[in-house]
Amino acid sequence: MSRKRKERIVIVGGGFGGLYTAQAMRDAPVAVTLIDRRNFHLFQPLLYQVATGSLSPEDIASPLRGILKRVKNATVLTGEVIDLDPERRVVILEDGDEVAYDELIIATGASHHYFGRDAEWEEVAPGLKTIEDAVKIRRRVLLAFEAAERESNPERRRALLTFVIVGGGPTGVELAGALAELARHTLRGEFRNFDPTEASITLVEGLDRVLAAYPEALSAAAAAALQAKGVTVRTKTTVTEIAAEHVIVRDTDTGEQSLLPTHTVLWGAGVKASPLSEALARRVGAKQDRSGRVKVLPDLTLPGYPDIFVIGDLAHYEQDGAPLPGVAQVAMQQGEYVADVLRRRRFDKAIRPFRYKDKGMLAVIGRNEAVADIGNLHFHGFLAWLIWVFVHINFLIEFDNKFRVMTQWGWNYVTRKRGARLITGEAEPVWLQLPLAPGRGVAVPEDVEELIEAG
């Protein structure tokens, strides 16, 4: 009997979905290839702590090769999959290279989008999905404080110390809370020409409450906790304009617009599926939802293509009449489910539809303050925060990250210091550079000046 070629499993994406799939197949008689653009797994839930100077990028990222070193049937390739050919069963990389599969798992996640204003707003209002995003936000925020130290005009200084965060979901709430702590505690006493606690932080949300995925009582608790930290929470408010020196917001009830002079707008709103979604629509006729997420069958495959799975933030999976949220837990469970489906297929066993077991949701507002929605328990405050801390340390995939983050958090907690607040990375385009002296910067157009008068 001739030796049978091993089944080739190709996983695209080294996030929670891809990694959990690969790890769940560690003992299977298959050859796994995991392809990612980056050489590391990023623990996205803690990205906001890099953006606000508490952790360093290296604390929340682990090299994929290190994680899969002992998963001997797995090969890691660094490259960007831009297309696939479902007939020839290959994925196609950015340089034309092809990788053949017997089964394909696509787990490339999502990025942010700007409700059709991407071209204008992306540069001025960075989102928070990658390490580079986080370093950029950190740079913008810290540079604004630096510029304020050199600014003598009080009005301009006020604009430099005004931070607007768009989107009241977990990312926006976490950013707002962390920024408030940065200004009120970490930076206190570090400037000589102004008091950093004067900084104004505004969280803007289009719906009638923050954390809309949570029970109403927890949304109210989160808003109250933010307000206690000095954050202005503006619900039922949308952004109609973002520029280098101001934003314009609109009250959805009254339609009234107002202008906030600010140099720093952070984006925590819209989510958009990764570009591979387009390739799937084109190549296998995959159906997309409004965010571009791919609609999958109960076994997470695509109609007509039992060899192609889509999981994680890229997948649109309905359960009990609603699509599952784009959170790490869903991706992990889907990854393990796919490994199980492939095992069951090898043994001709019955396959049950995927079912997400919600272990609860946690969102952190800051030191000692989080909200928890776990089964029938809804609570907030110190206990929720403690659970958040332990859950997050526990999920950091490699032990050395756990250890590092634990010691770093311990240190930060006791001292309220944030040692990672470095202004690093490439310089911004000139038109976005902060005015480090009076009189420079982008001129305010005429109609906007009118708004200042009016608003």
- In the set 94, 132, 146, 174, the catalytic residue is 174
CA atoms of 223 and 240, how far apart (whole Å): 23
φ/ψ of residue 74, rounded to 5: -115, 135
Please tell me whether residue 63 binds a second copy under the rule CB under 8 A: yes
Count the residues of the shown chain that bind a second copy, applying the rule CB under 8 A.
59
Report if residue 116 touches a second copy, rule: CB under 8 A.
no
Question: Of 161, 43, 112, 156, which is closest to residue 272 (Cα–Cα)?
Answer: 112
The only residue of 236, 419, 428, 448 in contact with a second copy, by rule CB under 8 A? 419
Instruction: Give the interface segment with a second copy, choosing from 239-247, 314-322, 353-361, 424-432 (CB under 8 A).
Output: 424-432
* Closer of 295 and 402 to a second copy (Cβ): 402
Q: Which of 19, 33, 128, 26 is nearest to 81 (CA)?
A: 33
Please check whether residue 206 is in contact with residue 238, taking contact to mean a CB–CB distance below 8 angstroms.
Answer: yes
Which residue in 7, 26, 28, 75 binds a second copy (CB under 8 A)?
75
> 380 is written with which tokens?
């907030």
**Are the CB atoms for 245 and 159 separated by under 8 Å?**
yes
Among positions 251, 278, 398, 428, the unique one binding a second copy when judged by CB under 8 A: 398
Q: Which segments of 182-243 does DSSP mark as H helices, in order? A: 216-228
**Alpha-helix runs per DSSP H in 257-297:** 276-284
Lookup: tokens for 340: 């199980």
* Closest separation in Å from C-beta 129 to a second copy: 14
Rule CB under 8 A: say whether 132 interacts with a second copy: yes
Q: Does 85 bind a second copy (CB under 8 A)?
A: no
x/- mask, a second copy, residues 349-388, rule CB under 8 A, reads ----------------------------------------
Q: Is 39 in the site for a second copy (CB under 8 A)?
A: yes
| One residue of 16, 18, 34, 40 binding a second copy per CB under 8 A | 40
Active site residue 174: yes
Contact between 76 and a second copy (CB under 8 A)? yes
SS3 content of the chain, % helix, strand, coil (to 5): 35, 25, 40
Q: How far is CA 58 from the centre of its chain?
A: 16
Assess contact for 413 and 367: CB atoms under 8 A: yes
Answer for which of 193, 227, 325, 452 binds a second copy (CB under 8 A) is 193
How far, in Å, CA of 166 to CA of 265, rounded? 7
- Applying CB under 8 A, does 83 fall inside the site for a second copy? no
Residue 234's DSSP bridge partners are 204
**Where on the chain is the footprint of a second copy (CB under 8 A)?**
38-40, 56-59, 61-63, 65-66, 69, 75-79, 93-97, 131-132, 135, 142-143, 146, 149-150, 187, 189-193, 398, 400-401, 403-404, 407-408, 411, 415, 417, 419-426, 435-437, 440
Q: Which residues are catalytic?
A: 174
